[in-house]
Structure 1
Amino acid sequence: MTRYSVLVPFVPRRPEQLLPYAGLVQWTGAHRLWQGQGMLTEPHQGFAHAAGAGFRIPTGLGVTLMPMRHPYEAALQAKSLSLVTGESVVAGFGPGSREMQWAMRGEPYKSPLTAAREYLTAVRAALTGTPEVMEGDYWHHAGRLAPLPGPGVEIGLGVLRPGMAKVAGELADVAITWLTPARYLSELIVPALAAGAEKADRTAPRVAAIVPLALAADDRDPARLALASNGAHLRLAHYRDMLRKGGVPLPDGEFADGDETSQALALVKGDAFLYGTADELTEKLAGYAAAGVDEIVLNVTGVASLYGPQAASQELKELLGALGLA
């Protein structure tokens, strides 16, 4: 059965801004509260604050960036969060952009797939107490966390294209996707996950798709909402490549300033950004379940950006109600 979860649709500047969204998970049928990498506040600390305020809920990190912390530190943060909340944690990781890699490391990863493979291996070794020393191209690791009973920590990997999906199939518990149309998942990502899992002789990881969406209204412009949600992604070549392969009718060439509206409308027409009535969105989200997605994370970042966090919280309540979870 596919579960529905909630993404905090902005980076909190103060920890109390997280609490209405934690409340949605605690008081509805939403499964988990997710955050991405924060550059203003650290997501692990925000979740810990919510737990201290009484919201002890399952959490997900989709995704934190590998260059920002050593695998041992990543494992320690995830384990600490599971103990603080008393609930399961999906600790998702990704290599980040080439520019971010250069800023943190002085150079980009020559092979992001190798870097991810080493990173996940090291995080799992730290969590499970595997004694072997890992001396990789990018990471040295020999640390182990002290064994301590507690809620589970699932290791996630951000997946955009089939190559990284195969790595996730080999090593991850959860493959985490962002802005990926359902047809792209069905045709390319889910088969690649299965191929990686078969190579490693293991069960394929479950899929958590973070899906941007907004309810239609007379005073709303779907292009503005899509741009507010994912305008930065439209400028990145690897996202544009993925979207085109997923059947999104992006105009030819690179992103051009002044052409934002047609670019954003392509996201809507191609069902990468979902827009419609509650019934229409429910039907479109069912397409993700049919594609093999185990957890759909509702992402109303566009609504939060244009109309504020209170409107975004209300939007999530309406969507969860339409899904029978309120």
Structure 2
Amino acid sequence: MPFVPARAEQAAPFAAFVQWRGAHALWQGQGVAVEQHQIFTQLSGMGMRVPFGIGVSLMPLRHPVLAALEARTLAVSSGHPVVAGFGPGARSFQAMTMGAPYASPLTAAREYLTLVRALLAGEEVEQRGTYYSYTGGLPKVPAPPVTLGLGVLRPGMARLAGEIADVAITWLTPPGYVRDVLVPALREGAEAAGRPMPRIVTFVGTALAGDGRDPVAILAQGSSGHFEGPHYRDMLRRAGVELDSADHEDIARSMLGLGGLLAGDTAEIGAGVAAFHDAGVDEVVLNCAGVAMHHGPRAVLGDLESLFTGNDW
């Protein structure tokens, strides 16, 4: 979804695109204007039953019991597997919602996903954690599987995802950084836990070239909030992105040079997607938020049609 919809009808054309054009899934990040699980459940009730991904829900907003219920409800209503991704969010957001940030985001994420997984598996749990506790279970309900994702930017969270998550969800991570930093950490965590390495899903800012378009300005606006986040800036610095300038367009140019944002014609964007796959990414989510901001949702649908026509995806 290239914007946060206020009503399910606004999201319906994008669900229909997934349904009829063979895209793998419709993804939406955390919404604070309208809640993302409810929009997707409404789409399912409208007959737009497609695989959905939540990348990511912010842990401070919901207890793990509610998180398990929301994810399973979406799987039941859609009739498809759901990727339920979670992340602690920025320290400033943690402080806003909880009064103080997590002293250890890794501990919080471990407790959170462990509890959600056990509840979805129908287990009776008795967890007394530093951040998340619960005694009890959830009634068993026939449902498509819910796979658990963890938002990953840096090696510590990647190692944890390797241990406990089904999917590592990254955002603004250039392919070289995924290959050289995140994949080894994911593999290390998985090997330590004696389990397979999680799938990797990467959100990539994308702008198709066209008359009257400034792809750099489009991509800069679409990612401007993330360019300012301290945890994102730390990751971008590690990835080799030039952050000396306060101008978001300069940051976008550096990201384009590293392949962390994609712009150009259909072939160029297709090659950029292939670079992510070569780096170990299993699923690339085309994030066209900047195009929607500059040219509207119809332009995004036109871009997606061109991209899917011009590439063998």
TM more than 0.5? yes
Extract unaligned runs of 5+ from structure 1.
1-7
Aligned mates of 1:276, 1:242 — CA distance in 2: 25
User: In structure 2, the residue corresponding to 1:142 is in which secondary structure?
Assistant: strand
Displacement after TM superposition at 1:189 (Å): 0.6
2:263 corresponds in structure 1 to: 275
Q: CA RMSD in A?
A: 1.2
Deviation track 1:186-220 (CA, whole Å, cap 9, x = no partner) reads 00111111100111111111111111111122422
- More divergent stretch after superposition (262-271 vs 107-116): 262-271
User: In structure 2, the residue corresponding to 1:280 is in which secondary structure?
Assistant: helix
Give the conservation status (yes or no) of the 8 Å contact 2:292–2:300.
yes
Displacement after TM superposition at 1:223 (Å): 2.1
1:165 corresponds in structure 2 to: 158
User: In structure 1, the residue corresponding to 2:223 is in which secondary structure?
Assistant: helix
Relative to structure 1, the CA distance from residue 308 to residue 143 in structure 2 (aligned partners, 3 Å threshold; closer, same or farther) is: farther
TM-score by length of 2: 0.97
What is the number of equivalent residue pairs in this alignment?
313
Relative to structure 1, the CA distance from residue 149 to residue 260 in structure 2 (aligned partners, 3 Å threshold; closer, same or farther) is: closer
Aligned mates of 1:149, 1:236 — CA distance in 2: 40
Give the conservation status (yes or no) of the 8 Å contact 1:215–1:315.
yes
- More divergent stretch after superposition (12-21 vs 236-245): 236-245
Aligned mates of 1:262, 1:210 — CA distance in 2: 20
Residues 1:204 and 2:197 aligned together: yes
TM-score by length of 1: 0.93
- The answer to which structure, 1 or 2, has the higher relative contact order (CA under 8 A, 6+ apart) is 1
Displacement after TM superposition at 1:312 (Å): 0.9
Q: Of the candidates 298, 304, 307, which is equivalent to residue 286 of structure 2?
A: 298
Deviation track 1:245-290 (CA, whole Å, cap 9, x = no partner) reads 2232x143xx63xx33323322222222111111111111101111
User: In structure 2, the residue corresponding to 1:93 is in which secondary structure?
Assistant: strand
Residues 1:238 and 2:226 aligned together: no
Displacement after TM superposition at 1:159 (Å): 0.4
User: In structure 1, the residue corresponding to 2:203 is in which secondary structure?
Assistant: strand
Relative to structure 1, the CA distance from residue 138 to residue 299 in structure 2 (aligned partners, 3 Å threshold; closer, same or farther) is: same
Residues 1:321 and 2:309 aligned together: yes
Q: Identical aligned pairs, as a percentage?
A: 50
Residue identity opposite 1:152 in structure 2: P
Displacement after TM superposition at 1:103 (Å): 1.3
1:45 corresponds in structure 2 to: 38
Give the conservation status (yes or no) of the 8 Å contact 2:208–2:215.
no
Give the conservation status (yes or no) of the 8 Å contact 2:227–2:248.
no
1:93 corresponds in structure 2 to: 86
Residue identity opposite 2:258 in structure 1: G
User: In structure 2, the residue corresponding to 1:154 is in which secondary structure?
Assistant: strand
Residues 1:178 and 2:171 aligned together: yes
Residues 1:82 and 2:54 aligned together: no
Q: Of the candidates 44, 48, 54, which is equivalent to residue 61 of structure 1?
A: 54
- More divergent stretch after superposition (203-212 vs 221-230): 221-230
Aligned mates of 1:261, 1:173 — CA distance in 2: 34
Moved over 4 A (4+): none
Aligned mates of 2:249, 2:270 — CA distance in 1: 25
Residue identity opposite 1:266 in structure 2: S
Q: Of the candidates 120, 129, 138, which is equivalent to residue 131 of structure 2?
A: 138
Give the conservation status (yes or no) of the 8 Å contact 2:162–2:197.
yes
User: In structure 2, the residue corresponding to 1:123 is in which secondary structure?
Assistant: helix
Extract unaligned runs of 5+ from structure 2.
none
1:190 corresponds in structure 2 to: 183
Displacement after TM superposition at 1:141 (Å): 1.7
Residue identity opposite 2:185 in structure 1: A
Residues 1:265 and 2:253 aligned together: yes
- More divergent stretch after superposition (130-139 vs 89-98): 130-139
Aligned mates of 2:228, 2:189 — CA distance in 1: 29
Displacement after TM superposition at 1:127 (Å): 0.7
Aligned mates of 1:12, 1:75 — CA distance in 2: 23
Aligned mates of 1:58, 1:68 — CA distance in 2: 23
Give the conservation status (yes or no) of the 8 Å contact 1:231–1:264.
no
Relative to structure 1, the CA distance from residue 40 to residue 241 in structure 2 (aligned partners, 3 Å threshold; closer, same or farther) is: same
